[in-house]
Amino acid sequence: MLHPGATYQELARLPDAPGKWLAARRPFLFAFILACTVSFAASGRLTLRLVIPATIYAGIEVLIEVVALAAVRSKTAPSFSHSLDLFFAGFGPWLLWLLAIAAVWTFASPVSAFRWTGPRWDLYIIGVFALWSGYIDFCFFRHVFHATPRRAVRNLFVQRAISWTLALIIFGAGPLWPEIVRILGI
């Protein structure tokens, strides 16, 4: 997470490991940690009745990321399973953010937790993690997909436009429009 350029240069040189598990292990880990965060935020503890369905819902986000990555995948890239594994290896900043959110909701009262993770404060923190993650993804496109800097930036923006737009439509469409109306004062 701290030296993604050098890390991806080294990882891109490794041979593809066989097996479908390679393509699923890191995406599943992300979905599982996202589901655990939902459980902690909803109940202050880890419960299977929340983790199992939340993992399924988080799988939708993983599928969105897979589709967006497939849309920008280059012909010179390693196998799709290897590319997918390396791409999700760059999700470290998001995993840290989710673990921090889970910790706040576990150890703080609901009022304090909402104050810490509420909409205004959370946007600044998400911005920092989005920039950090963006740099990691840029390095992924540069070194794993062998893209020029310009092409890596293009891939980054296309991948993010696809994945974040779909995620916003699927997960945020309900409360999105009333919030826009509230912000605009219409």
State how far the Cα of 128 lies from the Cα of 41, in Å rounded to an integer: 21
- What domain range includes position 27? 4-184
DSSP codes, 64-113:
HHHHHHHHH--TTS--HHHHHHHHHHTTHHHHHHHHHHHHHHHHS-HHHH
pLDDT tens digits for range 54-97:
999 999 999 999 999 999 998 888 889 889 999 999 999 999 98
Secondary structure (3-state) at 6: helix
State how far the Cα of 31 lies from the Cα of 48, in Å rounded to an integer: 14
- Residue 12's pLDDT is what? 86
pLDDT score of 112 more than 70 = yes
Q: Residues 32-54: what's their mean pLDDT?
A: 93
DSSP 8-state symbol, 144 = T
Q: CB under 8 Å to 113, separation ≥6 — which residues?
A: 41, 104, 105
Secondary structure (3-state) at 17: coil
If one counts the domains in the chain, the total is 1
Q: Residues 109-138: what's their mean pLDDT?
A: 83
